[in-house]
Amino acid sequence: MSRNEDRVFNALADGSRRKLLDKLCAKNGQTLGELCAHMKMTRQAVSKHLALLEGARLVVTHWQGREKLHYLNPVPIHEIQARWIAKYELSRLQALDELKTELERKKR
């Protein structure tokens, strides 16, 4: 698993790649052409960065007809986060769930 984490950290250690992730976060499912419009670099360079992000599983692609769409995959980042700080996520969710039920019960 650590080799995978190395890939994630390596992929994130570059401003252009973080910018690409920001663009996908703002609008998911973009083509290479759309992403190039935001970047001051050649299409080949953008394509290379995307391949690296894909290798780190931070970007996943989906074929929509003849178009290859790129999606932000936050799962590897969440896994890293879960390792150190989010162990209590599920109990927090459960607490939120109970709060919601309680508030809805009071509304009635």
Partner 1 sequence: MNAPNFVYVTYIKTTPQKLWRALTRGNFMLKYWHAKIQSTWKRGAKVQTFSRNDRLDWNGKVLKYDPPKLLSYTFQIMGYQKRSSRVVFEIEKMGATVRLTLSHYGIEPRCRAGIAGGWPVFFSSLKTMLETGKGMKIPG
Binding site for partner 1 (CB under 8 A): 28-29, 57, 60, 62, 64, 69, 71, 73-75, 77-79, 82, 86-91, 93-94, 97-98, 100-101, 104
Q: To the nearest whole angstrom, how small is the minimum distance from the Cβ of residue 64 to partner 1?
A: 5
Q: How far apart are CA 39 and CA 23, in angstroms?
A: 10
Q: Which is nearer to partner 1, 45 or 93 (CB)?
A: 93
Contacts of 73 (CB under 8 A, 6+ apart): 57, 58, 59, 60
- Three-state DSSP state, 56: coil
Q: What is the DSSP string of 27-40?
A: S-SB-HHHHHTT-S
Q: Which is nearer to partner 1, 42 or 81 (CB)?
A: 81
Q: Which is nearer to partner 1, 45 or 86 (CB)?
A: 86
Q: To the nearest whole angstrom, how small is the minimum distance from the Cβ of residue 42 to partner 1?
A: 26
